[in-house]
Amino acid sequence: MSGLSTKRLMKELADIQSKGTPEGIILLSADSMEEWVFLISVLGEETIYKGETFALRMKFGNRYPIDVPEVTFLANEQYQPPLHPHVYSNGHICASILGNEWSPVLNAVAICITMQSMLASNKKKERPEGNDRYVRTAPSNPKLTRWHYDDDTV
Amino acid sequence: MPNAAPFWLCHECGAQMRPVTVNGVPHCASCNGEFIEILDPDVNPDPFHELPPAPPTRPGTESSPSSPRPNQPFQHNPGQGGQSFLSSLFGNILGAAADHREGQGEGSQAPSGGRATNPSTNTGGSGGSGSGSGGPRTYSFNFPGGGRGQVVFGFGSGGGGGGMGMGPFGPTGQGTTTGGMDFESLFPGFGPPPRQGPGGPHPLGPGDPMDGAELLRALMAVMGEEGQGGPGMFFGPAGRANLGDYATSEQGFNDILERLMQAAGPQGPLPASDIVIDGLPRFKFDDEKKLAQSTYKDCPVCKDDFAVGDEVVRIPCAHIFHPDCLVPWLKQNGSCPVCRFSLVPEEENRSRRSENTGTAQANQEGGQSTMTNILNRLFGQAGGTTSNPTSPTDNESNPFTFGSAGEAARSPAPQASESSAAQADQAPAAGSTNDDRAEDPPSPTLPASGQPAAQDSQSPSEQDRPSMSTAIPEDYRARHRERERQRQHQEDSQG
């Protein structure tokens, strides 16, 4: 399995290097086949995130792409997770494709695009309800959280 | 207040109501659930509020002070009527933790050592110098069998000094606790049951791998089967459980939580059965010509181009994959990675969905409860075959067929996950009764054909088709048998 994971990621990396990433998405680091970080910004004048850049970290297990990678926005001195009703202040993201809608057909760039469009469609900068409670008790790996998806508007 | 009949709180739908009694068992008047709780302060002081630290003392301990190590696990008297399974369970778990601490050189364990180790003096979270602000919390509930139980959780969450009283059997608070287990870290997010109204917040307690009420429900589900005789019987006549039933480390506990989450979670897609996986037609790209004729040039999972000599497996939706790429996926999610064409019998999905509405009927008919269904799911048994009250609609169900008609009829299947998610939205607080898409772990106890077979009752034609497995085309089953044989052969030659 780990063979498949590495091979697949190498392929994605080669793809990124040869064809580039979509606008607003930059591969910041891919030092190993275990953890990549992308920079994401939302394009256009309309967005409430104009001028902001976010760092999206993906951790790939050795069952990738069968298993969804662990995806969070970085929350550190340098980067803050976006203020978004589906993004908790610890960087955890409530998005169905990172849970039960994951498919091995998806890839790292596809996740970035989804996150970018999730941000682009948002109109209100706010944290999810219950953010504080969640952040206080959340497991470090968001995949251990049981998400409940109810909102496909943003 | 005392003159009127008290209200009850339903933990399944959140309603406050006066229950209806069915066969002597109180049910929620709103959803007919059985996990309800009396709100009469005389009978049961509001569990959502902190109580003075006065959990019930263990019956009989006052008269047996000679008990050498009263907080030792396994020490308790099994089957005491008033004690609930949960308090026993947590008592044992934490008792084990306390034992562990004892090994850390904190001095003698003599009862006179200043630490309150005698259960009869156990005062919940107030032990020691604990600065924990939480007092014990009381839950009580009814069981399908008509019994009623109570469980007391004491919290001492105030830093290192917190007491950790866990009701009658728990180790008492020890001001010096440093390396022990902290209840809150065991149950991150354990707290008062969610009191969110309809239309509540969008994450279903996102912080809670399993929140309090839900955890109780899941554990009670376990009890529902084992303790048919009522509460307190979980450990069987001997009052003992396997060592494996105890979690003595945080990791162990996380494992349990994860298992519960996976079993009861709404986000568990169903795996495809082995027969279906083995039965999917495979073929080989023998030559360039075949390769050139193929609509799909690469494997959607590994993204490699197909090459001459590659074996591929095809899903009825016509998408093709390397077997090694597709099979692991189907074992955890029985749908096409590309188009989500479902390989899980619609009936299976639907019967889970109908559990909600079916519960009431099931309760009246067979005494089967939601709890039992949850339990069955937890342990991978074909859930609620007797209680599945779907027979009136079974005839409409799509049998598991792969014929052209079947494929057409099954076209809604890929949407199953969406519709189910949407349904969950409508009752955000309803908890695990709503978790109709729970994932059955691909348990070895499940015969490959067993589950679909047990779930299905009739095919539309009602010929000699007693089980769903027969609705799987014969060529699928033949290929499955062939593959089984090959595997067996391989094992034999290796061994």
Name the residue ranges covered by the structural domains of chain A: 3-144
Task: Convert B216-233 to b/e letters by CB count within 10 Å (16 or more is b).
Answer: bbbbbbbbbbebeebbbb
Check whether A148 has a pLDDT greater than 80: no
**CB-based contact, A51 to chain B, within 8 Å:** no
Of A12, A128, A144, Cβ closest to residue B258? A144
- The share of chain B scoring above pLDDT 70, in percent, equals 27
Q: Judge: A146–B325 Cβ closer than 8 Å, yes or no.
A: no
CB-based contacts of B494, cutoff 8 Å, min separation 6: none
Highest mean pLDDT among B199-203, B209-213, B229-233, B407-411: B209-213
pLDDT at B15: 81
pLDDT at A10: 93
Q: Dihedrals φ, ψ of B154, to 5°?
A: -105, 135
Alpha carbon distances (Å) from B468 to A94, B387, B397, B425, B477: 37, 18, 11, 31, 12
| Catalytic annotation, residues of A | 94
Q: Judge: B206–A94 Cβ closer than 8 Å, yes or no.
A: yes
pLDDT at A1: 44
Which residue, among B214, B256, B301, would best test binding to A if mutated, counting the most A CBs under 10 Å from its CB?
B301
CB-based contacts of B56, cutoff 8 Å, min separation 6: B82, B150, B152, B167, B168
**CB-based contact, A53 to chain B, within 8 Å:** no
pLDDT at B10: 83
**CB-based contact, A8 to chain B, within 8 Å:** yes
Three-class SS state of A141: coil
Contact status, residue B88 vs residue B219, Cβ threshold 8 Å? no
CB-based contacts of B300, cutoff 8 Å, min separation 6: A104, A105, B319, B321, B337, B338
Confidence of residue A93 (pLDDT cuts 50, 70, 90): very high
pLDDT at B269: 77
Residues of B in contact with A68 (CB under 8 A): none
Highest mean pLDDT among B76-80, B324-328, B339-343, B393-397: B324-328
Confidence of residue B330 (pLDDT cuts 50, 70, 90): very high
The predicted model scores a pTM of 0.46
Alpha carbon distances (Å) from B13 to A76, B88, B137, B151: 40, 27, 21, 21
Q: Judge: B206–A7 Cβ closer than 8 Å, yes or no.
A: no
Q: How far is B26 from chain A (nearest CA, A)?
A: 30
Alpha carbon distances (Å) from B112 to B66, B98, B103, B106: 13, 17, 18, 14
Residues of B in contact with A7 (CB under 8 A): 302, 304
Check whether B102 has a pLDDT greater than 80: no
For residues B309-323, average pLDDT: 92
Measured distance between the N- and C-terminal CA atoms of chain B, rounded to whole angstroms: 74
CA dihedral A139, A141, A142, A144 (to 10 degrees): -70
Confidence of residue A145 (pLDDT cuts 50, 70, 90): confident
For residues B303-325, average pLDDT: 92
Confidence of residue B321 (pLDDT cuts 50, 70, 90): very high
pLDDT at B138: 46
Check whether B13 has a pLDDT greater than 50: yes
pLDDT at B99: 45
Residues of B in contact with A134 (CB under 8 A): 203, 206-207
For residues B173-180, average pLDDT: 35
Six-digit token pair at B8? 């009850």
**CB-based contact, B324 to chain A, within 8 Å:** yes
**CB-based contact, A63 to chain B, within 8 Å:** yes
Residues of B in contact with A101 (CB under 8 A): 417
> Where is average pLDDT lowest: A5-9, B168-172, B234-238, B303-307?
B168-172
> If you count residue pairs, one on A and one on B, with CB atoms under 8 Å apart, how many are there?
113
pLDDT in tens, A96-144: 999 889 999 999 999 999 999 999 999 999 999 999 999 988 888 888 8
Highest mean pLDDT among A78-82, B68-72, B78-82, B383-387: A78-82
pLDDT at B268: 65
**CB-based contact, A109 to chain B, within 8 Å:** no
Check whether B357 has a pLDDT greater than 80: no
Q: How many CB atoms lie within 10 A of CB B123?
A: 20
Burial class (CB in 10 A: 0-12, 13-18, 19+), A151: middle
Total residues belonging to chain A: 154
Please, what is the average pLDDT of chain B?
55
pLDDT at B11: 81
Radius of gyration of chain A (CA): 15
**CB-based contact, A81 to chain B, within 8 Å:** no
Of A65, A99, A137, Cβ closest to residue B207? A137
pLDDT at B288: 86
Check whether A88 has a pLDDT greater than 70: yes
Total residues belonging to chain B: 495
**Dist CA A76 CA A81 (whole Å):** 9
If DSSP states are collapsed to H, E and C, what string results for chain B? CCCCCCCEEECCCCCEECCEEECCEEECCCCCCCCEEECCCCCCCCCCCCCCCCCCCCCCCCCCCCCCCCCCCCCCCCCCCCCCHHHHHHHHHHHHHHHHHHCCCCCCCCCCCCCCCCHHHCCHHHCCCCCCCCCEEEEEEECCCCCEEEEEEECCCCHHHCCCCECECCCCCCCCCCCCCCHHHHCCCCCCCCCCCCCCCCCCCCCCCCCHHHHHHHHHHHHHHHCCCCCCCCCCCCCCCCHHHCCCCHHHHHHHHHHHHHHHCCCCCCCCCHHHHHHCCEEECCCHHHHHHCCCCECCCCCCECCCCCEEEECCCCCEECHHHHHHHHCCCCECCCCCCECCCHHHHHHHHCHHHHHHHHHHHHCCCHHHHHHHHHCCCCCCCCCCCCHHHHCCCCCCCCCHHHHHHCCCHHHHHHHHHHHHHHCCCCHHHHCCCCCCCCCCCCCCCHHHHHHCCCCCCCCCCCCHHHHCCHHHHHHHHHHHHHHHHHHHHHC
For residues B360-376, average pLDDT: 43
Confidence of residue B234 (pLDDT cuts 50, 70, 90): very low
Q: How far is B480 from chain A (nearest CA, A)?
A: 23
Which residue, among A137, A153, A154, would best test binding to B if mutated, counting the most B CBs under 10 Å from its CB?
A137
Measured distance between the N- and C-terminal CA atoms of chain A, rounded to whole angstroms: 35
Contact status, residue B409 vs residue B390, Cβ threshold 8 Å? no
Q: Does domain A3-144 bear CATH number 3.30.70.2860?
A: no
Nearest CA in chain A to B330: A66
pLDDT at B4: 62
Burial class (CB in 10 A: 0-12, 13-18, 19+), B109: middle
pLDDT in tens, B109-158: 333 333 333 333 333 333 333 333 444 444 444 444 444 544 444 443 33
The complex scores an ipTM of 0.90
Three-class SS state of A135: helix
**CB-based contact, A145 to chain B, within 8 Å:** yes
Q: Which has more confidence, B89 or B491?
A: B491
Confidence of residue B183 (pLDDT cuts 50, 70, 90): very low
**CB-based contact, B203 to chain A, within 8 Å:** yes
Nearest CA in chain A to B336: A103
Alpha carbon distances (Å) from B122 to A35, B155, B159, B164, B165: 49, 13, 20, 10, 7
> Where is average pLDDT lowest: B63-77, B305-319, B385-399?
B385-399
CB-based contacts of A5, cutoff 8 Å, min separation 6: A33, A60, A61, A62, A63, A64, A65
* B389 preceded by a cis bond (ω within 30 of 0): no
Check whether A39 has a pLDDT greater than 70: yes
